[in-house]
Each structure stands twice: as C-alpha cells, then as structure tokens.
C-alpha cells in the first residue's frame, strides 16, 4: 500500500490526536523563485484551531442540524478572518509595494475571496461532513483517492496521467505518440484525446468508469492551495516528474495538482473546456485552485496541458 503523509489538520479532522496529529509535511524541494521572493504569498501554513476541531468532532458524533449550523458558523468565521488578513495585506502593499503589480495581484485575490465566499464555505463543509473522512482517507493501494464532498463513489487519481501510461494506450489503439520522459505529465493531448484514453481505461476495467473531472470535482479534490506549497511554476524550466513535489498534498491527498501542467476538466466555458492548476510557465497566483478563468479549445493540443482522471466505482 502506498502511504501518503497526512497533514496535521486532516489528522485532526479524522479524530486522531497525540503524536500522530502533529505530523507535518517536510519540504525536500526548494520553493520556486516566485514563491521565495513573493510579497503577497504568505509563507505559514495555518493550523486548525481547537474550537473548529471540537465542532467537527461534535458533528461526526451527532450529525444534527444544530451541530451542522454551529460548525458552519465557525467555518464562516474562519473564512472571514482570512479575508480580513488579506485585506490588511492589501492595505500594506498599497502603502509599501514598489511595484503596482503586487497590489493588483492581492486586490484580485481579495475580490475573488469575497465573490466566492459562499461556495468556499460550502466546499469546506462538504469535506468536513463527508462520511469518508477517516484516518485512511488519504492512503491509496490502487492509485485513486476519495474526493471528499463529491459523490460517494467518485475518487481521483493520485497523479496526472504520465507519458508512460499514455504510451500504453497509444500502442494498444494504434495512435501516433512520440512521448518523452516516462514520469512527467503527458501533454500535447487534446481534450478529445483525454476522453478517448478514459474510455479505453473503462473498457479495460469493467468494474469502474473513468472520466475527466468536472471543475467542481477538481476543486474539491485539490482544496485551497497551501500557502507554502512546493510546485513547478514560474521557473521556465519545463515539465518535471509528477512526484517531484510529492510532499505538497491536495485536500484529497493527490499530488502535482498545482503547477507542472494544466489539467483538462469536462466543464464547458464559453464553448471551451476549463483547465485547472496552472503549469510550469504559469504565475503562482494563476495556479490557485480558485482561478476559474483558464480555458482551452477541446480539439487542440497544448504543450502545457495534460489531464488527470476520476473514477466512479
């Protein structure tokens, strides 16, 4: 079984305490230059406060309407506190930033957080109240992890599809494929190609259906991008192994969800498909889970767009 390190907060969500709950991610990869020198990205990883932990535990023990309301009120208060910190940072940047771009960047983040408030709170609640939130939720023995807050039978791949995996499909179906390093995300794959890969995998495994995630499913699986996330972005050095930044975990426990390569989703936007997560040549802020502006044409191939599958079983 492939063991995936729990974040301290997730351990607390699942009801673990003591030494296990204090386990934290160790960063073995140097952060990107953009992260290292950013004045808008906070470096600390916030910890879940004791009152939130207590309310989560109370709801899990007795999932009543009253306990749900109490937990949601606390989640909303936590979110508003983060917004307040972002607003304070914005005012600081307006006074002290040497470049107007920094102010614009933080203003966009604040505006997005205010606009997306209810959705973000609802997403957090859907994770906190999901019955699959257990000590083993972020461990996988088959490469897929439950998307907390989504349908109970839906899970997401631990990594994006790699060149090595796609090469098997190309060989089996007679498709032309030049590929590259085996352990990097496959790119130059259109949305239609990705759908064909998913159908092929579904035919091989009659017990499940494989498909591309919706934008909402992708966001639930990713969760908010950690403030101190290590990722491949802004360095202009090209694709890296899908496991290069494996100590940065998404909400579901999946890796490589931010940076490296954009990922196709099945969500339609303005006659195109939404893509998520940013890529190696993206600004760090463009990699944020809540960035919903990026789209691509389904029939075209892009050197910085790959894909990850979800499984219904």
- Domain assignment of residue 2, yes or no: no
Q: Any idea of the CA torsion for 267, 273, 279, 284, to the nearest 10 degrees? A: -60
Q: What is the mean pLDDT of the chain?
A: 85
Average the pLDDT over 214-234 and give the result: 91
Which range (59-73, 108-122, 125-139, 185-199) has the least confidence? 125-139
Which range (19-28, 95-104, 168-177) has the least confidence? 19-28
- Domain assignment of residue 192, yes or no: yes
- Domain assignment of residue 3, yes or no: no
Q: What are the residue ranges of helices labelled H in 129-235?
A: 163-173, 191-204, 215-222
Looking at the chain, which runs of residues are DSSP E strands? 144-146, 154-157, 209-211, 262-269, 272-276, 295-296, 305-306, 310-312
Beta bridge partners of 259: 232
User: Which residues span the domain enclosing 308?
Assistant: 8-312
- Domain assignment of residue 65, yes or no: yes
Predicted confidence (pLDDT) per residue in 175-187, tens digit: 999 888 999 999 9
- Domain assignment of residue 226, yes or no: yes
- Domain assignment of residue 57, yes or no: yes
* 273 contacts 226 by C-beta, under 8 angstroms: no
* 286 contacts 112 by C-beta, under 8 angstroms: no
pTM recorded for the entire structure: 0.81
Predicted confidence (pLDDT) per residue in 144-157, tens digit: 999 999 999 999 99
- Domain assignment of residue 263, yes or no: yes
- Domain assignment of residue 1, yes or no: no
Q: Structural domain tally of the chain?
A: 1
Cα separation, 110 vs 113, in Å, equals: 5
- CATH code: domain of residue 161: 3.90.1580
pLDDT band at 46 (very low <50, low <70, confident <90, very high): low
């Amino acid at each position: 079984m492939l063991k995936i390190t729990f974040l301290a907060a997730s351990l607390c969500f699942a009801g673990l305490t003591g030494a296990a709950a204090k386990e934290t991610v160790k960063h073995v990869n140097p952060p990107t230059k953009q992260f290292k020198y950013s004045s808008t990205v906070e470096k600390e990883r916030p910890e879940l406060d004791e009152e939130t932990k207590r309310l989560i535990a109370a709801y899990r023990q007795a999932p009543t309407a009253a306990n749900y309301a109490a937990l949601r009120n606390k989640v909303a208060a936590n979110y508003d506190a983060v917004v307040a910190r972002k607003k304070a940072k914005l005012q600081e940047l307006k006074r002290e930033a040497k470049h107007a771009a920094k102010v614009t960047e933080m203003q966009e983040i604040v505006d997005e957080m205010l606009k997306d408030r209810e959705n973000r709170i609802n997403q957090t609640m859907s994770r906190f109240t999901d019955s699959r939130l257990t000590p083993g939720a972020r461990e996988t023995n088959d490469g897929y992890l439950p998307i907390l807050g989504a349908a109970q039978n839906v899970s997401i791949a631990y990594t994006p599809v790699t060149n090595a995996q796609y090469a098997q499909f190309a060989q089996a179906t007679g498709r032309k494929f030049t590929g590259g390093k085996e352990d990097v995300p496959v790119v130059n794959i259109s949305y239609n190609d990705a759908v064909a890969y998913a159908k092929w995998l579904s035919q091989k495994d009659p017990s499940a259906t494989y498909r591309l995630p919706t934008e909402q499913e992708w966001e639930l699986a990713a969760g908010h991008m950690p403030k101190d996330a290590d990722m491949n972005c802004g360095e202009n050095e090209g694709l890296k192994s899908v496991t290069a930044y494996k100590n940065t975990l998404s909400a579901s426990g999946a890796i490589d969800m931010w940076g490296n390569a954009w990922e196709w989703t099945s969500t339609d936007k303005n006659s195109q498909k939404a893509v998520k997560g940013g890529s190696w040549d993206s600004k760090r802020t463009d990699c944020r889970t809540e960035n919903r502006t990026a789209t691509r044409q389904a029939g075209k191939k892009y050197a910085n767009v790959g894909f990850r599958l979800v499984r219904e079983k």
